Amino acid sequence: MTTDPDRDDDPALAAEYAVGLLSEAETRAFESRLAVDPEFRAMVAVWTEDLVTLTDGIAPVTPPKSVQLAIEQRLFPEARQSWVRRLGLIPSLIGGLVAALLVVWATQQGILGTDPALGPNYRAEIAAQDQSLVVQATYSAASGVIEVDRTAGEQRAGRVLELWLIAGENPPVSLGLLDIGRRTTVVVPAALMASLDGGVLAISDEPPGGSPAGAPTGDVLAVGSLTAL
């Protein structure tokens, strides 16, 4: 069926276009007209506004945090400057590395899951230089889960703690907020799993709900490298 050139046909065509009933070829032809014909565009806009109310009854569903991370990684992938350098993390990283090497096996026992096949194969101590915040993290590549155990310190009043992954020269990527309680389980988005080997974990001080910007906005309180067990 071809598009009728007669303008009498326009009201029906505008409706069919807005509802989505035109074939692909008709839609393409229609859209080229839409671009140059404001009257036609207005007709479609009226239909579109009306049709959208058919979605009023569709309940909102909160998407997982991983979707936002994936979008921001796609839209803003460039790293103009090393975040490790920008945040002045080098000295604390060395501290974190030493701390990670010194952590005793007994500490891990309390953190480990029960299934040895899914047990952790990376760990990190994410610590402030003055030890005012110390968090133990273990990551299991098999399950894609980071278990976080806050052993010292807590969020500031009216603020939250947000966990970040810094992989190489890339900007930090949020792994989510830490629970108010001691332990938090973080499911790592599949797209990030490969970045964890050799990655750095950092914790920043953020407003409730977490950083609104896709990058740390408050103080970076603690950092630590992930090391293979």
Partner 1 sequence: MTTPPELEAMIARMALGDRTAFAALYAATSAKLFGICMRVLDNRSESEDALQEVFVKLWHSAERYQVNGLSPMTWMITVARNHAIDRLRARRAAPGDMDELAELADLTPGPEAQLIAASERGRIARCLGTLEPDRADAIRRAYLDGETYADLAYRYAVPLNTIRTSLRRSLLKLRECMSS
Residue linked to tokens 């007994």: 106
CB of 61 to partner 1, least distance (A): 4
Query: Rule CB under 8 A: is residue 208 a binding residue for partner 1?
Result: no
Compute φ and ψ for 194, nearest 5 degrees.
-70, -20
- How far apart (Å, rounded) are the C-alpha atoms in residues 136 and 120? 12
Residue 160 pairs with which residues in a beta bridge?
Answer: 206
Q: How far apart are CA 179 and CA 140, in angstroms?
A: 19
Residue from 7, 32, 71, 129 binding partner 1 (CB under 8 A): 71
Q: Smallest gap, in angstroms, from Cβ of residue 144 to partner 1?
A: 15
Q: Which two tokens stand for residue 44?
A: 């479609």
CB 176 within 8 A of CB 146: no
Of the candidates 29, 70, 111, 112, which one interacts with partner 1 according to CB under 8 A?
Answer: 70
Q: Contact with partner 1 (CB under 8 A): which of 2, 5, 75, 208?
A: 75
Do residues 136 and 107 lie in contact, with contact meaning Cβ atoms separated by under 8 Å? yes
Shortest distance (Å) from residue 54 CB to partner 1: 6
Supply the minimum distance, in Å, between the C-beta of residue 112 and partner 1: 29
Binds partner 1 (CB under 8 A): choice among 95, 214, 216, 224: 214
Q: Sign of the CA dihedral 52, 56, 59, 65?
A: positive
Q: Which of residues 10-69 bind partner 1 (CB under 8 A)?
A: 11-12, 15-16, 19-21, 23, 41-42, 45, 47-64, 66-68
Q: Say which amino acid occupies 203.
A: I
Q: Site residues for partner 1, window 121-160 (CB under 8 A)?
A: none
Least Å distance, CB 129 to partner 1, is 29
User: And the tokens for 88?
Assistant: 């002045």
Answer for the pair 141, 122: CB distance below 8 angstroms, yes or no.
yes
Contact residues: partner 1, CB under 8 A: 1, 11-12, 15-16, 19-21, 23, 41-42, 45, 47-64, 66-68, 70-72, 74-76, 209, 211-214
